[in-house]
Amino acid sequence: MIAKVEPLTTARALRGPFDYLRPDGVAKGSLLIVPFGHRDVTGVVVDVASSSEVPAEKLVAPRRVLEERVPPELVDLAAWMAEEYCSTFARSLQLVLPPTGARAKTALWAELTDDGTAVLAAGEGARLNARQRELLASLPRFCGGDTAALRRLEGRGLVAMGPRSQRRFLTHDAVGAVGERPALTDAQASALREISKAPRGEKLLLHGVTGSGKTEVYLGAVEEVLGRGGGAIVLVPEIALTPQIVSRFVRRFGDTVAVLHSKLSKGERYDEWRRLRRGEARVCVGPRSAVFAPIADLELIVIDEEHDPSYKHEGDPRYDARHVAERRGATLVCGSATPRPESAYALRRIRLPERVDGRGMPPVGVLDMRGHSMAMHPETVEGLHTAGKAIVMLNRRGWSNFLTCRSCGHVWMCPHCDVSLVLHRAQGLLACHHCGHRARVPHECTECRSVSVARHGAGTERLEHELSEAGLPVWRLDADVKRPGDVLRAFEAAPTGVPVGTQMVAKGHDFPDVTLAVVLDADATLRFPDFRAEERTFALVAQLAGRSGRGEKGGRVLVQTLAPDAPSIVAAAQHDADGFLGGELERRRLLRYPPFSSLVKVVTSSHEPGAAHTAAMAVREELALPPSAVLGPAPLFRLRDRERSQLIVKAKPENRATAIEEVGGAVERVAASREHKAASLSVDVDPQ
Ligand SMILES: [Zn+2]
Ligand SMILES: [Zn+2]
């Protein structure tokens, strides 16, 4: 018998699977160590066969069979991903493997022998003191501090001891209003009924305003699945920012919940994976990679905040967890207050139109900043002083966005990227937000020696400073902050105060006493040349707006912008998601953007001047697609000393598979040619 093995190498040129002799018990999904070339590598059995084209005398046996196995359906999922995202089978398989670099932790376990059971049952007559009796009665368990005493009982034949794998216990941040199981509102109960009667594999959109109690509906749906003996996956954007939802699941379902995310140690991740694989845990909560959780009888996948860009993976393969989730065959429930136009178009919608507390959405004031030079409108400043608890969002880290010389106009740029450097005053440095380059803060111009350096624009650091100068208790919440969970807890406990931050402040926390939410520079996202600019802006403003007024004191929202008439800002200010989605879908239909087309992006890059562009041109020429379907090549800004160029292929939905295959083939041919060896190429299907 033959095992077809895909060796886990990163080389793109190697295409498995390769045939090996199949040891007993090895099946699809088994993990092996196999001799490959001159070394041993891990391989995954992707199929078994009764014969091989390799002559029998050349077939070799695996060195070793590993203990864990990948479920066969995840092997199939990886095969699909390799094609769908123009990647390799080996790279896709890496995503579904058990976490590496750890093994089960063992500790000494003790249990009663038959003699022990008899002696304990014999009661007073047995030769046991009270302490020994107590010990025996406490078994079976891990020995812990009682090892010595238990060893003596083992010597008398009353106890059997041996190593046993012990689970590493996780702790979860508890932040925000949790409370006990609330009664469902009519809207929640009806949403739950819709979900329960949906046939397996149906895709639903739970479109509920912020505060409408989507999580309670998820909990109810998961509970039903567990009651039937099935399993569920709950995807959340980022664990560090969504501790509330994680702790609610853990509280409701206890040990049945496994949490998988990147902040766990290798050992913890391994244990959680194993608990899922063995069915000891049947619910997995985690970020996008949890979509690969090894759960048998998977009946339900919930994707919370489905509009969040973190569901797209930026490494190879560039998968989208929302798209992968559809392949797992479970019922899909995507939840959001600001769903993507694609989801609103394609999924059956269930609505939660009102907040659970029956309060209306907070009024939104749009502040026109044209003609204002300061970072904050006077109305904002005044509002913050009277609000008690407020949230301020500015989607820009650092102190100032860029520095210029007042005499000669010199702009401080990153030497490795074509972007300006951002001032981080507390650390005393200029930083590139794209490559991490750092430089000291200049005291004079490097070009003309003038000492007059102007700082432009305000980031979160400067805002934090200005607000605390104004006497407000302020916390900063952005990617420069090491432990965002601590910031959220501090804010929760404080009677008044203002967290100031990037979009992190707008994500999934639920603080009842926030009475004012402020967005500064709300149209910043509109200035990116991207077809998702409107969608992003709407989501950002609407999400932040939803953070205000969730308590008895009510609340309001202020939106500062240079584009007060932009459709996304007008719609967000009126809490009009339907109006926004309708207009946006119409615009996309006219421009043939998703969901009315599929996009495939190719990015080429090179250290050598001109090489990225010529490689992109070569890809374009290789493509057997109508010229109107291909946009570019267009230059992207230089990044990490590499020039970059991009091509976008727009395919009709029905031609998606052909376009992906076509682009994959063209990129592979160009990448393999000597002429373009100075360039690297990457393919991104459904770019975000
Ligand atoms: Zn100068
Ligand atoms: Zn840079």
Q: Percent helix, strand, coil in the chain (nearest 5)?
A: 35, 25, 40
pLDDT at residue 174 in the model = 46
The Å distance, Cα 607 to ligand 1 centre, comes to 29
- In this structure, whether the domain defined by 186-352 belongs to CATH 3.10.290.10 is answered with no
Question: How many alpha carbons lie under 13 Å from residue 115 in its C-beta half-sphere?
Answer: 10
Count of all residues that appear for the chain in the document: 688
Q: What is the pLDDT of residues 553-586, one digit of tens each?
A: 888 999 999 999 999 999 999 999 999 999 999 9
Mean pLDDT of the chain: 90
488-510 mean pLDDT: 83
Q: What is the pLDDT of residues 384-414, one digit of tens each?
A: 999 889 999 998 899 988 899 999 999 999 9
The number of the ligand nearest the C-alpha atom of 406 reads 1
What is the band of 242 on the pLDDT scale with cuts at 50, 70, 90? Answer: low
- Residues of the chain with pLDDT > 70, as a percent, come to 95
pLDDT at residue 509 in the model = 67
CB atoms within 10 A of CB 293: 29
pLDDT at residue 329 in the model = 94
The number of the ligand nearest the C-alpha atom of 418 reads 2
Distances 476 to 357, 385, 499 between C-alpha atoms, Å: 29, 17, 6
pLDDT at residue 125 in the model = 63
pLDDT surpassing 70 at residue 333: yes
273 token code pair? 């994976």
The Å distance, Cα 560 to ligand 2 centre, comes to 29
The Å distance, Cα 131 to ligand 1 centre, comes to 83
Q: Which architecture, in CATH terms, is 364-399+458-587?
A: 3-Layer(aba) Sandwich (3.40)
pLDDT at residue 221 in the model = 97
The Å distance, Cα 419 to ligand 1 centre, comes to 18
The Å distance, Cα 410 to ligand 1 centre, comes to 5
The number of the ligand nearest the C-alpha atom of 405 reads 1
The Å distance, Cα 436 to ligand 2 centre, comes to 6
Greater confidence (211 vs 304) lies with 304
Q: What is the pLDDT of residues 136-172, one digit of tens each?
A: 888 888 888 888 888 888 998 889 988 877 766 665 5
pLDDT at residue 102 in the model = 63
The Å distance, Cα 432 to ligand 2 centre, comes to 5
pLDDT at residue 488 in the model = 82
The number of the ligand nearest the C-alpha atom of 452 reads 1
512 token code pair? 């009842």
498-515 mean pLDDT: 81
pLDDT surpassing 70 at residue 604: yes
2 forms beta bridges with 21, 49
The Å distance, Cα 413 to ligand 1 centre, comes to 13
The Å distance, Cα 435 to ligand 2 centre, comes to 4
CA dist., res. 109 & res. 666, Å (int): 58
pLDDT surpassing 90 at residue 511: no
Count of H-run helices and E-run strands, the chain: 19, 30
Greater confidence (679 vs 169) lies with 679
The Å distance, Cα 455 to ligand 1 centre, comes to 13
Nearest to 386 by CA among 471, 266, 476: 471
The Å distance, Cα 581 to ligand 1 centre, comes to 48
- 606 alpha-carbon distance from chain centroid: 29
The Å distance, Cα 449 to ligand 1 centre, comes to 6
Burial of 331 (0-12, 13-18, 19+ CB in 10 A): buried
480 token code pair? 């420069």
403 forms beta bridges with 455
The Å distance, Cα 438 to ligand 2 centre, comes to 8
CA dist., res. 1 & res. 237, Å (int): 44
CATH 3.40.50.300 placement within the chain: 186-352, 364-399+458-587
DSSP string over 390-456? EEEE-S--SSBSEEEETTT--B-B-SSSSSBPEEETTTTEEE-TTT--EEEPPSS-TTT----EEEE
Query: Which pTM value belongs to this model?
Result: 0.86
pLDDT at residue 175 in the model = 46
What is the band of 490 on the pLDDT scale with cuts at 50, 70, 90? Answer: confident
The Å distance, Cα 418 to ligand 2 centre, comes to 7
Q: What is the pLDDT of residues 183-202, one digit of tens each?
A: 899 999 999 999 999 999 99
The Å distance, Cα 431 to ligand 2 centre, comes to 8
> What does residue 425 show for φ and ψ, rounded to 5 degrees?
-70, -45
Greater confidence (524 vs 331) lies with 331
pLDDT at residue 180 in the model = 65
539 token code pair? 């989501």
The Å distance, Cα 405 to ligand 1 centre, comes to 5
The Å distance, Cα 572 to ligand 2 centre, comes to 34
pLDDT at residue 591 in the model = 92
The Å distance, Cα 453 to ligand 1 centre, comes to 8
The Å distance, Cα 435 to ligand 1 centre, comes to 25
The Å distance, Cα 561 to ligand 2 centre, comes to 28
Protein residues with C-beta less than 5 angstroms from the ion ligand 1: 405, 407-408, 410, 445, 447-448, 450
pLDDT surpassing 60 at residue 178: no
pLDDT surpassing 80 at residue 472: yes
pLDDT at residue 341 in the model = 96
The Å distance, Cα 446 to ligand 1 centre, comes to 7
Q: What is the pLDDT of residues 202-236, one digit of tens each?
A: 999 999 998 899 999 999 999 999 999 999 999 99
The Å distance, Cα 366 to ligand 1 centre, comes to 38
The Å distance, Cα 412 to ligand 2 centre, comes to 11
CA dist., res. 393 & res. 472, Å (int): 16
The Å distance, Cα 397 to ligand 2 centre, comes to 15
Q: What is the pLDDT of residues 401-460, one digit of tens each?
A: 889 999 999 999 999 999 999 999 988 999 999 999 999 999 899 999 999 999 988 899
The Å distance, Cα 428 to ligand 1 centre, comes to 20
311-326 mean pLDDT: 95
678 token code pair? 């100075």
Asked if residues 650 and 597 have their Cβ atoms less than 8 Å apart, the reply is yes
The number of the ligand nearest the C-alpha atom of 439 reads 2
The Å distance, Cα 406 to ligand 1 centre, comes to 7
Nearest to 334 by CA among 438, 206, 218: 206
CATH 3.30.70.600 placement within the chain: 598-685
Could you tell me the fold of the domain covering 598-685?
Answer: Alpha-Beta Plaits (3.30.70)
The Å distance, Cα 639 to ligand 2 centre, comes to 6
Name every residue whose Cβ is closer than 8 Å to that of residue 601 and which is 6 or more positions away in sequence. Answer: 646, 647, 648, 649, 683, 684, 685, 687
The Å distance, Cα 574 to ligand 2 centre, comes to 39
The Å distance, Cα 451 to ligand 1 centre, comes to 8
Amino acid at 341: P
350-375 mean pLDDT: 89
CATH 3.40.1440.60 placement within the chain: 2-96
The Å distance, Cα 159 to ligand 2 centre, comes to 64
The number of the ligand nearest the C-alpha atom of 414 reads 2
Nearest to 235 by CA among 244, 246, 226: 246
- Residues of the chain with pLDDT > 90, as a percent, come to 63
The Å distance, Cα 452 to ligand 1 centre, comes to 8
Protein residues with C-beta less than 5 angstroms from the ion ligand 2: 414, 416-417, 432, 434-435, 437
Q: What is the pLDDT of residues 615-663, one digit of tens each?
A: 999 999 999 888 888 998 999 999 999 999 999 999 999 999 999 999 9
pLDDT surpassing 50 at residue 38: yes
pLDDT at residue 201 in the model = 92
The Å distance, Cα 431 to ligand 1 centre, comes to 20
Nearest to 203 by CA among 304, 331, 339: 331
The number of the ligand nearest the C-alpha atom of 415 reads 2
The number of the ligand nearest the C-alpha atom of 410 reads 1
**DSSP SS3 for 5:** strand
Asked if residues 99 and 275 have their Cβ atoms less than 8 Å apart, the reply is no
The Å distance, Cα 434 to ligand 2 centre, comes to 5
What is the band of 122 on the pLDDT scale with cuts at 50, 70, 90? Answer: confident
564 token code pair? 């007060």
CB atoms within 10 A of CB 130: 7
End-to-end CA distance of the chain: 45
Could you tell me the fold of the domain covering 2-96?
Answer: GIY-YIG endonuclease (3.40.1440)
The number of the ligand nearest the C-alpha atom of 421 reads 2
The Å distance, Cα 407 to ligand 1 centre, comes to 5
pLDDT at residue 129 in the model = 84
Distances 154 to 58, 108, 116, 118, 162 between C-alpha atoms, Å: 52, 13, 9, 14, 11
What is the band of 103 on the pLDDT scale with cuts at 50, 70, 90? Answer: low
Q: Calculate ∠ Cα 524-526-532, nearest 5°.
A: 130
pLDDT surpassing 60 at residue 338: yes
CA dist., res. 257 & res. 250, Å (int): 6
